[in-house]
Amino acid sequence: MSQASAVASRNFRFAKALAIVLVFSGHFGTGIPGFWMLVSIGLFVFAFSSAYFTSAKYHEDLDLRAFWKSKLLRLVPSLAMINLFLLGLFLVQRRPGIWNWQTPVSILGLSGFCTWFGIKDQTPFGLGVWFLTLLLVFYAAYPVVRRAARSRLALHTLTWVGLVAAGLLDWYVPMGHALWFTAWAFIFGIFAQRTALALRPLACGIGAFSLAATLFAVNPILGLKVLNFPLLVGMSGCTVLFLLRARVPALALRPLDYVAPMTLEIYLLHPYLLLHPAGYPATDYLLSLACVLGVAWLLHRAASLLTRRGLHVAGTPRA
């Protein structure tokens, strides 16, 4: 299977930047009916793209040592800088529970397990990092899934049985966040890459808007929630398939250049930096966004320097 196209790589780089702004906006609170739909699509974009590009890069030739080295070099410096910043913030705020058994679990990005098993938070670290936990689970499971994906029958079975299972779990075992929906997006990303799934961007765009209109009609207006999962899956599927092939003008993507490299920092920091000093929603939103982006940029720069120094000491050529 060929490497992912340059068009898809560029589109998803900027789509993830837009998605993290949507996630931030959703957590800040916009007051816009149905805004949660956009946040859900953003989570789907993150999961799908992680799986799609991992499959494109590692399916034919997987060196586990190189695989994990790449992931750790991407994650560890950023996690170290973010957690050091948060530690300082918590000490200044005199937060309780900074040091307990959940602290190492949370700073490693694994507090999602505590959330899923109903274990009460005992540390301020790890607020809302369930997606990072899910991403780490995907990385751990990928070598096994990769073997299964070599069989077309196994790949189709995993994808479509997984979709039904995710829908049932979403209905009968709700988590309060889009866990099952997002988990299936990882599977769909591998499926789309392995089968070279492609639809015309125009058809995908029309499909996404039509399904969005339907969902908005049956949920916020009529109050029906039973169709949320299938309609969200359809909307999100159309969105990611659109991004695989659409040629979006570069000018439209340029404002996201600043955000794109630091999505991880924004994701992990933003729950702690939602500020309301002015008492006016629009002003507080802009102040919070500026604060999150500024701190994220500083920590991303520090993590990049740490990564480059580590590569230099190890004698590894820079990419």
CB atoms within 10 A of CB 24: 24
Q: Average pLDDT for residues 72-98, to the nearest whole number?
A: 94
> What pLDDT digit, counting tens, does each position of 167-193 carry?
999 999 999 889 999 999 999 999 999
Both structure tokens of 18:
């837009």
Distance separating alpha carbons of residues 154 and 158, to the nearest angstrom: 6
pLDDT reading at 286 higher than 70: yes
Please report whether residue 90 resides in a domain: yes
> What pLDDT digit, counting tens, does each position of 111-167 carry?
999 999 999 989 999 998 999 999 999 999 999 999 888 889 999 999 999 999 999
Q: Determine which of 122-126, 149-153, 218-222, 258-262 has the lowest per-residue pLDDT on average.
A: 218-222
pLDDT reading at 252 higher than 90: no
Please report whether residue 96 resides in a domain: yes
Please report whether residue 250 resides in a domain: yes
pLDDT reading at 313 higher than 50: no
> What pLDDT digit, counting tens, does each position of 49-84 carry?
999 999 999 877 788 888 998 899 889 999 999 999
Residue 150 has a pLDDT of 85
Please report whether residue 303 resides in a domain: yes
* Cβ atoms of 282 and 251 closer than 8 Å: no
Q: What's the Cα-to-Cα distance from 45 to each of 113, 121, 240, 275, rounded to whole Å? A: 22, 28, 6, 27
Please report whether residue 203 resides in a domain: yes
Please report whether residue 202 resides in a domain: yes
What are the φ/ψ torsions at residue 149 (nearest 5 degrees)?
-70, -10
Q: Average pLDDT for residues 252-266, to the nearest whole number?
A: 87
* Cβ atoms of 102 and 114 closer than 8 Å: yes
Q: Determine which of 148-152, 203-207, 241-245 has the lowest per-residue pLDDT on average.
A: 148-152
Residue 4 has a pLDDT of 60
Domain count, the chain: 1
Please report whether residue 187 resides in a domain: yes
Domain that holds residue 132: 6-311
Please report whether residue 317 resides in a domain: no
